[in-house]
Amino acid sequence: MAARLNAIFFDWNGTLLADTLCCWRASNIVLEHLGKAPVSMQKYRAHFNVPLDQMYRAFGCSAQELIDRFDVIHDVWNSAYDNQVKKARLRRGARALLHALNKKPEHSVILSNQTIANIASHIQRLDVHDCFTALLANDAPGPAFVKRNKGERLNRYLNERRISRAIIVGDTEEEIDIAKEHGLVSIAITDGVCSTRRLKAAKPDFLIDSLTEIPAIADRVFGLQKEAA
């Protein structure tokens, strides 16, 4: 019988990649294109959500408008984002963390609403492509606008790879919700696309300000399992 494994699942945008400003600016360009007022970073963090149509409704867009102009919204956002993210760096501590985890037996996996092609290009550009066991993301852009599907990809991976214990790291309530649904340990990181107040209200297992805090948490989480065994 194959041994069961541990894993750490990382959200990509805002968690490992420091692109929160890019996402906010791209969303404001979409709002301008739709004739809506731009929003402050504070308001963006207060209302960011997946599915993304919920966020745009909070910013004054009607449900029908979002349906009718979906293709335009998608194209405008991606063009604006791609123009800005070309020089985005990893968040502080991410590179050292990923290389340290690469020496451990646990799987390090990206779990994202972004596309596989987009993430693959950035992890190659940033020279961390060899730090991940798997890249779980969308084949094409668009699904995150109308639904959450991270949990589906996560569940398949957990079952196929016989993961016995796992941590999920992210900057939104979505990752916390997924962790609760699948019995994972959640780590929420501040200074991403969700406000600290919202993250606290969602009650993650750990709330951190820096990725440098993760190794100690991982040793604690996975170490407790070994002791119990």
Task: Pick the last residue of a domain from 85, 100, 124.
Answer: 85
Q: In sequence order, what are the residues at sequence separation of 6 or more whose Cβ sits closer than 8 angstroms to the Cβ of residue 21?
A: 41, 84
Provide the token pair at 119: 């993430």
Task: Assign residue 183 the CATH number of its domain.
Answer: 3.40.50.1000
**Average of pLDDT values for 134-149?**
84
Q: What is the rounded distance in angstroms from the CA atom of residue 213 to the CA atom of residue 195?
A: 19
Query: For residue 141, what pLDDT band results from cuts at 50, 70 and 90?
Result: confident
Residues 211 and 125 in one domain: yes
Its domain, for residue 41, covers 20-85
Q: What is the rounded distance in angstroms from the CA atom of residue 6 to the CA atom of residue 216?
A: 15
Residues 158 and 216 in one domain: yes
pLDDT of 65 over the 70 cut: yes
Residues 36 and 10 in one domain: no
Residues 76 and 93 in one domain: no
- DSSP annotation string for 45-100: HHH--SSHHHHHHHTT--HHHHHHTHHHHHHHHHHHHHHHHTT--BPTTHHHHHHH
Task: Pick the last residue of a domain from 85, 109, 128.
Answer: 85
B/e letters for 25-46, b = 16+ CB within 10 Å, e = fewer, are bbbbbbbeebeeeebeeeebbe
Provide the token pair at 103: 């020496």
Task: Pick the last residue of a domain from 38, 55, 85.
Answer: 85
Residues 69 and 116 in one domain: no
pLDDT in tens, 196-220: 999 999 999 999 999 999 999 999 9
Residues 157 and 63 in one domain: no
Residue 226: φ, ψ to 5°: -65, -40
**Average of pLDDT values for 162-190?**
96
Residues 56 and 106 in one domain: no
Residues 70 and 173 in one domain: no
**Average of pLDDT values for 7-11?**
98
Q: In sequence order, what are the residues at sequence separation of 6 or more whose Cβ sits closer than 8 angstroms to the Cβ of residue 7?
A: 106, 107, 108, 109, 133, 157, 158, 161, 163, 165, 166, 167
Element (H, E) at 202: helix 196-202
Provide the token pair at 62: 């009607």
pTM of the entire predicted model: 0.93
Residues 72 and 93 in one domain: no
As to burial, measured by CB atoms within 10 angstroms (0-12 exposed, 13-18 middle, 19+ buried), residue 185 is buried
Total domains present in the chain: 2
Residues 102 and 52 in one domain: no
pLDDT in tens, 30-42: 999 999 999 999 9
Residues 27 and 113 in one domain: no
Q: What is the rounded distance in angstroms from the CA atom of residue 66 to the CA atom of residue 56?
A: 8
Residues 45 and 149 in one domain: no
